[in-house]
A and B are shown apart, each in its own frame.
Chain A
C-alpha cells in the first residue's frame, strides 16, 4: 500500500512566508503492483501546479526509475518530494545493500536485476542512465550494507 503524508515547512524570507509542499511516500520492497504510484501522484501534483508538461515528464521518469530501483534492489524505502516555486527535489532513500561500484552501476546496460524483475521487463540497466539524463542535478549517496539515497532535482525553467 501507498501511504502519503503532507507536511508543511515554513521558512520566512523578507517577511514573506514560503511553504514548500512536502510529500512522503512509503516504497515497499518487491511490491511491483504499487510501484510507480508515488511518481504518478507527484506527476498529478505538478500538473495541478501548472508546471510545463515536458518538465513534469522528466521528473516523473527520473522518480519512477529511482522508485523501481528501491523496490527491486533496495528492499524498499521512502520517497520525499519537495516542490519549491522554481524546482522539485525528489529524494528516494532505501536501507538495502547499497551499490558497491557506482561508476559501474551508472553504465548503460549494467544490471544485477533478479529474474523475477527481468520477467516483468526490468533489468535493461537503463534506469540510472535515464535518471541522469532527466535530472538537472543528481546526487547518489550509497554505502554497502547501509543503503542508497538518490537526490534528484528538476528545475521548472
Chain B
C-alpha cells in the first residue's frame, strides 16, 4: 500500500519544518540511514528518508535523490542556513520526537493498514 506525502505527514503527526512541496507524491516505503554514502546508494524513488543528521549535506543528498520527504527523528531541528537550502531545493523536511525505529514502525503501520 502507498500513501501520499501529505497523508503521511498528518497520519504520523509530523512537524513540518519547511513547506510541503509535493503533497501528492506517493510514498511506498521508508529508508532509514545516517551514513550519507549508504543513503546515496540505496535511497529509491518512492521512499521517504528517516535520519538524525541535519547538516547541509542531508539536503544535497535528498535533492540528488529527489526524495519527496525527509523525516528527522528524535526532535532534530534544522539550523537556519540548512532550512534556507531545503526551501531553495524544495525539499520537504519534517521532524518527530520518535526515534528512528519507532518512527519507521509507525509508518509501516500506516502503510499496512492503509488507514490515515
A residues touching B (Cβ–Cβ < 8 Å)?
32-33, 35-37, 39-40, 43, 57, 60-61, 64-65, 68, 120-127, 129-130, 133
Asked whether B58 lies within 8 Å of A36 as measured between CB atoms, the reply is no
User: Would you give 15 A-B contacts (Cβ < 8 Å), ordered by A?
Assistant: A32-B55, A32-B56, A32-B57, A33-B81, A120-B53, A121-B58, A122-B36, A122-B37, A122-B57, A123-B35, A125-B37, A126-B35, A126-B41, A130-B40, A133-B41
Instruction: Check if B37 sits within 8 Å of A127, measured CB to CB.
Output: yes
Residues on B with C-beta less than 8 A from A123 are 35
**What sequence of 0s and 1s flags, for each residue 19-53 of chain B, a beta carbon within 8 Å of any chain A beta carbon?**
00000000000000011111111000000000101
Chain-A contact segment, one of B60-68, B69-77, B106-114: B60-68
Residue of B nearest to A111 (CB): B37
- Residue contact A121 to B60, C-beta cutoff 8 Å: no
Tell me whether B57 and A124 are in contact (CB under 8 A): no
**Contacts A65-B37, A65-B40, A133-B41; A121 near B63 (Cβ below 8 A):** no
Docked-complex contact B41 and A39, CB < 8 angstroms: no
Main secondary structure of the interface of B (DSSP, over half): helix
Interface residues of B (CB under 8 A from A): 34-41, 51, 53, 55-58, 60-61, 63-66, 81, 89
Tell me the complex Cα distance, A36–B91, Å: 15
CB distance from B35 to the nearest CB of A (A): 4
Measured CB to CB, the closest approach of chain A to B56, in angstroms, equals 5
Assembly CA distance A129 to B63 (angstroms): 21
Which among A35, A129, A133 is the interface contact of B60 at CB below 8 angstroms?
A: A35
Task: Please indicate the chain B residues that have their CB under 8 angstroms from the CB of A60 in the complex.
Answer: 64
- Nearest residue, chain B, Cβ from A60: B64
Given contacts A35-B56, A68-B57, A126-B35, 11 further A-B contacts (CB under 8 A): A35-B57, A40-B63, A40-B89, A43-B64, A120-B53, A121-B36, A121-B55, A121-B58, A125-B37, A127-B37, A130-B41
Given contacts A32-B55, A57-B65, contact A124 B37 (CB under 8 A): yes
Residues of chain B within 8 A (CB-CB) of A133 are: 41
Bound together, the chains give a CA A68 to CA B37 distance in angstroms of 10
Query: Shortest CB–CB separation between residue A54 and chain B, in angstroms?
Result: 10
Q: In angstroms, how far is the closest chain B Cβ from the Cβ of A41?
A: 11
Give chain B residues whose Cβ lies under 8 Å from the Cβ of A64: 40, 60-61, 64
Residue of A nearest to B34 (CB): A121
B39 / chain A contacts, CB cutoff of 8 Å: 121
| Cβ-defined contact, B60 with A40, below 8 A | yes
Contacts of B65 in A (CB 8 A): 57
